[in-house]
Structure 1
Amino acid sequence: MPFLRRSPPVEGPAPDPEGAARSSAEPVAEGAGEGSRPPAEETAQGAGQEAVAPEAVAQEAATQETASEFLADPTPDPGTPLAESLRPGPRGPGWIGAAVVVTALVSALATFLILAGVIRVTPTPAYGVTLLGINAALVLGLVFVIAWEARVFLHARKANAAVARLHSRIVGLFSLIAILPTVLLAVVASVTIDRGLSLGFTDRVRDVVLKSVEVADAYQENQCQSLAREIRILVDDLTRARPNFDRDRAWFENFLTTRATNLGLPVAQIMRGPTDVVARAKIDVLKQVRLPSAAAFEEAATSTDPICLLPSEGRVFAALLRMPAYDDAVLMVQREVSQLAIDFPGVSRAAAAEYLTYDSLRRSIQITFASVFLLIALIALLSAVWFGMNFANRFVAPIRRLINAADQVASGNFYAQVPTKKTSGDLAHLGESFNKMTQELRRQHTGLIAANDLIDTRRRFTEAVLSGVSPGVIGLDAAGFVTIANPAAERMLDLESEALIGQPLARAVPELAPVLAESESRPRALQQQQLQLTRSRGERTVTVRVTSEQAQGTSRGSVVTLDDITDLVQAQRSSAWGDVARRIAHEIKNPLTPIQLSAERIRRKYGKVITADKEVFDQCTATIVRQVDEIKRMVDEFSAFARMPKPAIAPNDLTEIAKQNLFMMRVAHPDIDFAFSAQGGAGSAEKIVAAFDIRLLSQVITNILKNAVEAVAEVPPAELGKGKIALSLAVEDGFAVITVTDNGKGFPVEGRQRLLEPYMTTREGGTGLGLAIVSKVLEEHGGGIALNDNPAGRGGQVQMRVPREHGPEPSAPGPQTSPVTTEEKGAAPTAPRIAEMHA
């Protein structure tokens, strides 16, 4: 249709924007609730659940494998490939998490482009809800993926797995880095949207939009009024020219053309119907004249006012007015206006309607788009967290393998190896270095084990040698502390290993301090001294040698050897004195007989002749004879010591021999109490059989009892009280032990052992051969003698040992074969005892 009639402008109250906003926001809010979720969102979540099901199964398997990686025994079987034993198990379908993250990022980017206007979409509430639902579903997917990953490393941290704390710190750091800018961006975006929408929907902007509609309508109204005024003027002019219409039609048309041109009307026609043109102006400015509709023509034929017709197409305005002077014919005029005058009212009206619609939905739009921005921010945040966790997993995995391998090495498994990947960068280089280190450690460990076995073998051999040798061996460190001591050294020093090991030797054994100091001042020289050590078993002669161990000019310790040469010295002295005795017996005894015979002859021949000083003469000759006899007796003792007869050893009753000798002493000295015991029972008659020479051992017991009697006699009666001598027999370790104890003066504290040497005596007139002969007799029997103090108090004790069975070689006397009664520590030293033996 060519023309549309213009409607009058709308007048009345403006719509309530807040009410429209409430009415539009309510369905959005209801749609956002849990009970009335839109179908699209439900469908999206249903699809998400169906996709999560296989992921959950795979992630569960990954969790079990990861937990087994953290908690399993890290020590692999040496027979299996170690790289495979340390390689972590698969973590499950990690592509599911990556797919969820990529999808979420793509959705967030598309949403941002829509909001930015790059993708032109009308932001309606329904469309916003759709975007909201899609992004919410993806956010839930991201939360699930991240929660699953977090569950894995939280379980590892709870199990105190390797680098679990570092893993948590890296994830926390990445999460913090992602949270701060994302939250800031979301807040800024929300505030920007709110401020932007608020500025666009102020009262001033609203007035401007509505006024633009009024301006457009006023413009069209102005065009219609101008056209109506001009058509009235033209009708009046034509009414006056009515007589000429009938007389000269040509002049009339020229007149119509002239007036239309003057009024600026390109089209002017007198019509009696929609298609019946009576007359027209000959202008033809318009290419095509649009005729009015029949309805418009009929309305104009019945109206006295001009009718303005708005163009439905094009930009031509038309006006119709009835002409009563021309038999109610209708004059139609048309004028072309600018396109803006045609389009502006429609555009203004549409813009105003859209503005009012947006104004009514402003609150719901703000909420929807703020939610979308929040979801975009959450997607960015959760994606960054997932990337951080993924990076942390890839970063700590080589470190975890390295720590697990290091724990295996610490537990003694030197076959541990870590798998390396070239893509790991410096960590791969670290793993390769670790593998080289474990290989080198394994090689060195194998060598150390072999060397340790060799050292242990040598140590056992050395200990066996040291425990079997008779000399004492003591090892010292550079500071002089004892590091090792064999049993012989402990016996010589009378110290337990606990009191010796770890102690300074100079403090533990003060007698060795001088030789140790000399060795320290001259470390390269061998130091050797002969010392006298007094211990509970008596005084012993010991040769001490100190050898320093030097390494690069620095002392690394020393070795002290102790040789007990007491028996050797005693044997050497006995041998020397035996040789002296033989010489004395040969050189002195031969002239003694002539001297004695000569003195007796002088006394017989000249005793009758000499009258003066006869008494003196007789006394002198008697003295000569007596002293010669005394010298002969001494020479006989020397001869007896030098030519000790070989004992006739045979099994005999030691108990009977001891009783006989004790009986003789009891008869000879009734003022002394004599006691006898055998096998620990007083007065016991138990028979103890031993291998000995009856004559020699009887002489030994008699002389020891005689010495005990003499020791008791030397104590003043007021101090002594009642003299006591006890003889006891016992059996110990295959030896018969004869013990004689008295309460006499006892033995001297120092030099006690030398009393067993020949010609050593503390009694005036003694020869010093008694105890020497006793010691030699016992040595010939394979036994020994020990001089001790009386364990009950004052006095001395002599222990003699005789083998119960005669062996082919007699054993040397000493502490190894003789039971020694230990002198009580702190007891006052007794007075010297005269130990002599008379033939």
Structure 2
Amino acid sequence: MPASKTITKPQVLPRGAVIMTLLVLATMIVSFLVMMGITNISPTKQTTQLIIAANAVSILVLIYLSYATLKKLFLFKSKAKHNDLHTNVAMIFALIASIPSIIVACFSLIVLDQRMDSWINNQNNQIIDMSIKAAQSYTEDNAQSLLTTTLSMVIDLDQRRMLYSLDRGAFSDWLTYDAGRNNLLGASLVKSDGEVVVAANLINDHSLPDAPIEALRSAAGDKPVLIPPGDTNLVGAVIKTHALPDLYLYTIRSVDRSALENMRVMTDNNAEYQALASNRSTTQIAYALLYIELTLLLLLTAVWSGIAVANRVVLPIRQLIGAAEDVATGNFDVSVPVRGSDGDIGSLSHTFNKMVEQLKTQHSDLISAKDEIDERRRFTEAVLSGVTAGVISVNSEGIIAGLNRPAEQMLAVDASQAVGQSLGLILPEIGAVFDVARDNGRSSSRKQISITRSGVARSLNVQITREDADIKNTSYVVTVDDITDLVAAHRSSAWADVARRIAHEIKNPLTPIQLSAERIRRRYGKVIVEDRAVFDQCTETIIRQVGDIGRMVDEFSEFARMPKPQLAATDIRTVLRDASFLVEISNNQIKFEHEIADEPLVGNFDSRLLGQAFGNIIKNASESIEAALQSGAVETGYILVRAKSAGASITVEVLDNGKGLPSENRHQLLEPYVTTREKGTGLGLAIVKKIVEDHGGHLEMLDAPANFHGGRGALVRMVFPRLAEAAAA
């Protein structure tokens, strides 16, 4: 059989549907067992509400499964004109199963309502209430009798207070006699803290409880206190004596245990009865949901059974008819399954498949050339589509499906032009990363690349993320992050190491060279008469060049060994004024302007390093103006030094009307050894950037505004964090 499309049939039991159906069935069984009281879980109101919630969810699941199954069945019917029998058989099974189920459910609900009416009525409620009242009356009579006996004993005790004071033993014998005469299990004189002073020596099998402290406190106000039975069949009484200070008579008597047990049973039965009465509607709802759930389950089972029967009986003929129609329309990628149990229809299906296979073989040779031509055409169109970069959504074939707006803004890409094009052909750098990520099968891959767009070189971090586990039918998200600044930081670190090594190797011989030149000039300056001017010029040149080289080495060393800032609370205005003054006194031809805030601009700064950075920026501005003055580009040079607060930050700006900054790759001026001046070392701005970043700020290189003395020159902006206390003030 050729690899071809097989005509499908409705799936009878999808795995997910089977799992959900089994869960629903388990929920029904557990709910029924709990409601019938078969399990250890009592069907309380809260339990019944949980059962209602669980079965309501189950009903929604069954409704969804029924809807999904019927929808799939009708969609299957609408795809071809020979699918009616599947739908008809499934619907007949559904009707056969659902109608009896609905009748049984309605009948069961009616019977349940009548049975609950017979259980819950006023007559049963009155009988239970009267039984409880009778048992309570018996207990109260015993308690009242004990209270009367105890009061009588207190009166006798007050009369025998002298006996208590003179002979405790005789008093104890009398208390024992009086307690036995009144059928008490125990009698004792106790203090307010529960300590027993005198107790009757009665012989019994009971373990008598101590006098409750709360009862003693209640009896302190000359009010008799009764102690109910509680969990035992013992009642007690506490009465304060009048003749004996701070003493209480505590008596105990037993009550018929069976009467108390009957009262407890009747109380529990009454509680269950009241719970059943209050839970009636909830119980009916729970049973109703169970019946509805059973009906829906039978309906769903009937539909699945109908589909299974239709698949077995009708599917072979329908598949053969549908496959023949597909072949008639030119589709040769079809086949019909052949089963031995199909008989003559199976033989016909086998012959049909052989015929289709032969037709497909002949047809495939004709279309292979066309497919190759189309593939080359699509490849050529993708190559000519243009170049884009950014965060891109790509399908499994490497075709761009969309761009997000940050990608358009960062890479200046029009999404309408990029969508539908091949990523690998538009962006070879990113396309190569995409191909590797797609082939290695990992869900996420990352690589750093470098691209140049509009004359600006950028370092990008490209991450490829697969959305789905299916590699063949999935889509990818290409995320491009600009890490140019990070790469520049690594480059600065490398240059710092190089500068440190160069400074070490060059600085050592400079001093001997300079000393030798000076010694030659002193030793032979008076001896040499001929060409004395040449001799002096050569020695001075050596000394001067050695000095220049020394200064360059000092700059190398300074860049390589940038000290760690010693931060302290500092007003940046003072540092800025001092740095500006040092440049201002040596450049009389330049007019300096200051716009410095009146309020303190306090932050954690190293005043020495910050002054070095400000001085370097202002010095660069003055040198830029000198170059512009020499070329005649400006007549008068201006430098504006500005400092102001902006909430939690401090902004320092230096503006000039000099020759300005280059328009391309301006950010590279902040990297080491990049300069636009002939005698510059390219370390000044790199040092300034390092100082600013060490203070938690950032540096911006901009063009001066158009209204600043002719619109020429540069604007260098430095933003620093401000102390929270100063910002709040």
Q: TM-score, normalised by structure 2?
A: 0.40
Larger Rg: 1
Q: TM-score, normalised by structure 1?
A: 0.35
